Structure 1
Amino acid sequence: MRILIVIAFIIGAQLAWSQDFRINESERTIANVDRYNQKAKNSSNRDTTFFCYYRAVEIARSMLYYEGELFACQGLAEYHKNDVVFDSRLEYTYRIVQIQEKRGSAEEKAAAYQQLGLLYFDEKIYKKALENFSQGFELAGISMRSKYDAGIWLTRSFQYADQVDSALIIAAKLEAEENRLSDFQRIALYKEKAEIYHNLGAYPQELGTYQEIVKIASGTAYSEFVPIAWNNIGFVNKFLYNEKQAKSAFLNTIRTAGSKDTELKAAANYNLGLILHNEGKSDSAMVCFKEAYKMYRDLTDWKSLASCQNMMSLSYFHSSDPFNAQQALNAAFDLERKYGLRAEEAKSHEIQSMYYEDQFDYESSLASYKKYLSIRDSLLTLERTEEDRLKSYQYRAEQLEKQLRVVWAKNEIDIISLAEERARMAAERERADRREKEQQLKFSQEQAKARLYRLQQEQAQRELKERELQLALNENKLKQLALEAEQNERKRIEDEKKFLEERAERERLLREAEEQRRSAEQREFRNRLQLIFGVFIFLFLIILVILVAYRQLRKRKKRIEEQNVIIAESKKEIEVQKEKSDGLLLNILPIAVAEELKTNGAAKPRFYEDVSVGFTDFSGFTMISEKLSPEQLVAQLDEMFLEFDKIIEKYGLQRIKTIGDAYMFAAGLPDPLDDHAARSIKASIEIRDYIENYNKTLPRGNPLWNIRIGVHSGPVVAGVIGIKKFAYDIWGDTVNTAARMESSGEIGKVNISGITKQQINGEFRTEHRGKVEAKNKGAIEMYFVERK
């Protein structure tokens, strides 16, 4: 509806030129257009600027003075630059493109396409931006600078539109002209290429591109790009876990940054602190975080400031300083709530949950973790809403552009028709003047004819004015129709609402009447039955009291026996249903937890001091899922996980959950086991052997399943999540470490931690791997384990 109103407004505005901004014939000169344009350009009053530019557009358009109209459209596009709704800016920018397409040189066309493309790019309508940048890039006869500018923006638009391969092709075309590019242009081009490589996951090429930027920019007028390149090199190395190279790059960023590069130095200090924190060097990390904190505070960058507070809190925590850790976290909460930093607040709740867990306050830990999940889900919802809004915005822009094409085309036809009409009338006036001079000496009858002819001309003028008036009336009718359509829509919605309410009321009254009728029939039936039964008993007692008593005794005995049979069958059915319900509950929850849930209606979280947790995962699952149909993939996973369940049950373990192609199990809960580590390893080896045998049964050409298994032992918290759909789950650092055992293992191997190895007492053959780096865990002692 809003789009229709905007379109109607634009059409109405075009139809109302002659009424709202009537142009006198004396004003229709090039000098007047130029005067209005100059006055608008020099005016500091916005209203005057708008009026003069708009007047210049109208006069220039009516006399087909394209240069004046182009200048005024540029001014009006600039005037509407900061409007919240970009409709007016799009209207005049699109008109600039139309004029240049008809009359402009190749350079002027390229500049117009660039201007319209930037408008769409700023509004995040990347599809339309691509169209205009592509037209500018493909133009023949333009300068290298224009081609470069169009190519750079085309590359960026392809990236934002998730067409990274196309972006790389355009960048390659620009690079082929490298000899004609300046140093600044080469640096900007390499920066775009690096971003493309990053999106493609080609990280070595990305690093090489940033190093090229350092070589080009060093010792030149563009040395300010050197610290930026070093910072990006550090970020890529950090992403690849090349901690040493990342630290060196961030130090180079700080060393080469200028006094005005405060934000860059703050980011480098923050990233350096993250690396030191992951290496377990909390004190050194704290120095970097504090330095970054000072810089972000000077920049009033509250989001980065909150992130620094969170990391300072973690550094205090890992330095065994819980008081300062909580103080820093509270300061982060204050910033996040004051400035609405939802993503950072979610991270703070996750950290708070970890602190509560370390203090064995598991209820508070679970509450904080639920807050973290709630905020994260709300942020994902906001992202999806923003995506829908952008799609709607893009559709609206496309519809508006189509309407503008129609309006401009019709407007040009009207202007040309009006110009032809004026030319015809001017020619007729000239002929009339000549005839008047020739017939000045003729008879008065001829003069009367001349006067009659002039009257006809006046009548033609009046008809022209009536035509203009009719156009204005058409505009008013259009507005009235739009208003009536909106009122009809509202009335229809209200009628539908009223009809639904009346129908609901009628249904309610019918239900009540039906219930009353059934109740009356039941009472009447009971009364009749009681009366008949009373008369029957009375007569029967009088005639055959003894016989009736005897028969009544026999019937009562038989009725009791039948009722006993019915009760026994009902009890048996209830027992069967109860066994089914218990079976379904036991498929989801352990026996002890299920019993507690049935008895108390809820199950409290429990702390287990020593259990073993195992993870399995298939390497190359994405490739397998591409080669198999969805039905084949699910069938094979179901078959393997069913066998896993049998092996887990065989060793008295507990399956926790499956996540995609990952399978998680635990030993030692809910009932403690002294040999939980050994049982977990036996089950893991048997699962590994089953997968090897399963691969041998697959048809030739089918992808093989390559499994990794990891086991770690330690404390966990276990409990039930959910109200309607119960889920038994476990939490704690032991779970995270077990997951790292799996991800740090090798295909066909069972990888265990040093803690688990200590609990198996030489029962298995182990292969010491030494200390292996695990993500977010540092170096951990790891072993491969096999049967003796």
Structure 2
Amino acid sequence: MRLLSICLFCIAWFWVSIVQAQTREIDSLKNVVARLGDDSSKVNTLIALSSQYLSTDLQEAIRYGGEAVSLAEQISYKKGEAYGYKAIGLGNITQGNFPEAAVQFEHSLAVFEEIGLKVGIANMLSNLGVVYFNGGDDSKAIDYYLRALKIAEEVDDKLRIATLMNNIGGVYNNKPATELKALDYFLRAIPIFKEVDNMAGMATASMNAGEIHMKQKQYDSASIFFKTSLAFFDNSIDATFPMTYLGEIRGKQHDFKGAYAYHEQAIRLAEKLDAKLELGQSIIGMAKTQALEGRVLPAIDTYMRAKTIVEGIAARKEQKETYEGLADLYARHGDFRSAYQYVALLASVKDSLYNEDNTTKIQQALFNFELGKKEAEIDLLTKDRALQKATIQRQRIANFATGITLCLLLLLLIGFYNRHQFTQRTNKIIKSERDRSKELLLNILPAETARELETNGHAQARFYDNATVLFADFKGFTSIARSRKPQELVAELNEYFIAFDDIVERFKLEKIKTIGDAYMCAGGIPTPDDTHPRHAIQAGLAMQQYITAKNVERAAKGLDTWELRIGIHVGPIVAGVVGKKKYAYDIWGDTVNIASRMESSSESGRVNISSTLYMMVQDHYNCTYRGKIYAKNIGEVDMYFVESGKTQIA
């Protein structure tokens, strides 16, 4: 143990020297930026500055990443652009802003794929896995990790292989049944990190191994792992994890003074760096130690502080821990109603986060709640019996009051009956209005979004990495509008849009909105699926067939005809609810803008698609290549007209 202490002291001294060197490195990089012109070297230096600030000032890290992206775009330096987006994403994920981090990593991934840099592709797939892991979606996280690992092994990127093994172990560590499998991944990662001389990676894998030893109550071994990793992390954001774990171990060993010292140190560091996820985890660690010491009310207050933070960043695993802790503490305090409230909140967290220990705690809280109700009923029954004895004695003295009492009871029963009838009528009206409101909400929003809005009072915006967007627009609508009375124009336009609504529903698409004579819908949202590219094209062809049939009818009656243009594109989007008083479900992103340009570059009676969509559906549809067509604000784009389908959609 004495030798270990000496080693840890040496490591800590070495790391302090590194931190001082890091400060000098930042100053040096700033001087370099000031001297460089607008070229690739300046982009790389800005990215290096962003990386240096990750452990000290997240806002500066994000700012320098943004400057790198802007300059890289100006000079068409794609590799620098990709790494700039990565730098912004790292700043946001460390800050706990997972949706924005996902968007930035997707931008980076798209550029890496464009230039074919496999090392960068594996890196971004790994980072996206981290985003979903921190957001509580283990199945999606493991999918990204395994895709990244396959590419990393192809290019023999040892650092990425070790990182992914560590991350995969983190997913397995979420379930008690797979903890040993997780430990195997961590221990496999450590020698690879050592081989590539990545001390931070070794420290992370060591910390994770320590966590498993802690769960198995091997506290001495766990402490060695945690102290080793803490010595390397020093005052960086990663240091909050071993600090919190060492605090929990001290608490389990009843060294509460030492435990609180570690917890307070972790909280101060997370607050200083504005790292919300780590701050929430550190506060939860403090609450666990307070609960272990038997300080129920302070522990509840601490959990409440953590609750505000982890709910704000949608950190599922941390929400689960917070709700579990509050349910248990309120039950111990005798406040079974509040305990049950947090049991109910716990049930709303994703099923993939539950394990047997959690289920046992929930059942115990429910049992305590029901037991509390039974005890209250017994107490009430005892009081009723005492009251009955006193009533009998009073009746012997005052029998003459019986008649008056009966009359009062009769009046009371009549009043209750009338109130019951009134309540039933009122509830019936309320139910009818509620059903109407729900039906109206479902007409405005997707069912999944409407349920979220009804349950939580708000709906979070969501990122979809693959969705198809269709725009339809009537050519020459302005001239048509001039020759129509307003009532006639709206009636005719309404007839077409109702038909489009039926077509969109038939092909499982989501109507987004109409803007004047333009109609917009999307596929693959809010529920992702694999058929939306073909469904969108099939819907576009059906719309054109409907317009053709209507024009034949109108021509036979001597009426002028309507001409429709359709454009479709596929790619990543962000979807969500906007507005405060009049809700509107909408979508945003470059994919929407490009789909709009596909429509404006189309021709009457045709379905115009982008080359991206063509590559996905070329085996299912006959298409005519149009060449490179200029699209406003985009430039020249390869476009195709869809002629007919080769196969039927299943």
Give the TM-score of the pair, scaled to structure 1. 0.32
Give the TM-score of the pair, scaled to structure 2. 0.38
